[in-house]
């Protein structure tokens, strides 16, 4: 009986530690995303750790190399954007779900700006990320696009790759314009998708 109580207490402690570690990782990824947008991927580790509310040692325990952190932030943001597609499709009509997702993708691109230097640096640690991007986002956008095209609400001659690249091109930062301008440009693109003839 005493052994069972010890085992249960040990399991409970292990779960609590894992939950704490998960919270720390989540806080670090959210903090790094924010810091990367404003200060770039070379921002001091202390700035990221402080924003996450953890020590620098915790940051390095979970992400020993800076490239580990950059990859984790990128994959997390890609996954969140991809996962938003089915959720939007569940609550909106097809054309509205497509439009909402394209705006969500625009938000993702704003986050990616802070990662762009690292992703295009030629560092072998980041070689798999463009493929991951297309593997996760292409099918999500494809499903939304197909559903909207099937209703006759949007053009049928547009591919997911076309839209991913077009939105990315519209979101290239300029000196005097920010995310609001990108959203407006993407809205114009979405309006253009409705010309089905």
| 31 plus 99 within the same structural domain | no
Mean pLDDT of the chain: 86
The least confident of 1-5, 120-124, 128-132, 134-138 is 1-5
| 37 plus 81 within the same structural domain | no
> Could you tell me which of 22, 119, 111, 16 has the C-alpha nearest to residue 62?
22
Which residue range(s) make up the domain with 111? 74-197
Taking CA atoms, 92 is separated from 97, 101, 113, 145, 190, in Å, by 5, 11, 29, 13, 16
- At 151 the three-state DSSP class reads coil
Query: Could you give the number of structural domains in the chain?
Result: 2
Confidence tier at 130 by pLDDT (50, 70, 90): confident
Assigned domain for 78 exists? yes
Confidence tier at 13 by pLDDT (50, 70, 90): very low
| 172 plus 105 within the same structural domain | yes
> Which conformational region is residue 168 in: left (phi greater than 0), alpha (psi within -120 to 50 degrees), or beta?
alpha
Domain with residue 25: its CATH number is 1.10.10.60
According to the model, what pLDDT value does residue 112 have?
74
| 4 plus 87 within the same structural domain | no
Distance CA 124, CA 44 (A): 22
Assigned domain for 130 exists? yes
Query: For 33-82, how does the pLDDT look when each residue is reduced to its tens digit (9 = 90+)?
Result: 999 888 888 889 999 999 999 999 999 999 999 999 999 999 999 999 99
Q: Give the best-scoring range by mean pLDDT among 7-21, 71-85, 100-114, 164-178.
A: 71-85
pLDDT at 8 over 60: no
| 91 plus 176 within the same structural domain | yes
The predicted model gives 152-161 an average pLDDT of 92
Domain with residue 176: its CATH number is 1.10.357.10
The predicted model gives 143-156 an average pLDDT of 94
Higher pLDDT, 6 or 73: 73
């Amino acid at each position: 009986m005493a052994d069972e109580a010890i085992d249960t207490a040990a399991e409970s402690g292990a779960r609590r530690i894992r939950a704490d570690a998960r919270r720390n990782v989540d806080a670090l990824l959210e903090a790094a995303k924010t810091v990367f947008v404003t200060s770039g991927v070379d921002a001091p580790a202390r700035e990221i750790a402080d924003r996450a509310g953890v020590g620098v040692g915790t940051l390095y325990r979970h992400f020993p190399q800076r490239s580990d952190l950059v990859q984790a932030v990128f994959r997390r943001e890609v996954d969140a954007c991809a996962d938003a597609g089915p959720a939007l499709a569940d609550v909106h009509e097809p054309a509205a779900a497509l439009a909402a997702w394209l705006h969500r993708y625009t938000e993702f691109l704003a986050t990616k700006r802070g990662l762009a230097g690292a992703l295009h640096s030629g560092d072998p640690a980041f070689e798999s990320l463009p493929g991951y991007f297309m593997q996760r986002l292409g099918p999500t956008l494809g499903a939304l696009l197909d559903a909207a095209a099937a209703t006759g609400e949007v053009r049928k001659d547009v591919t997911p790759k076309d839209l991913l690249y077009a939105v990315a091109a519209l979101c290239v930062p300029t000196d005097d314009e920010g995310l609001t301008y990108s959203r407006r440009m993407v809205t114009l693109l979405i309006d253009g998708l409705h010309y089905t003839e």
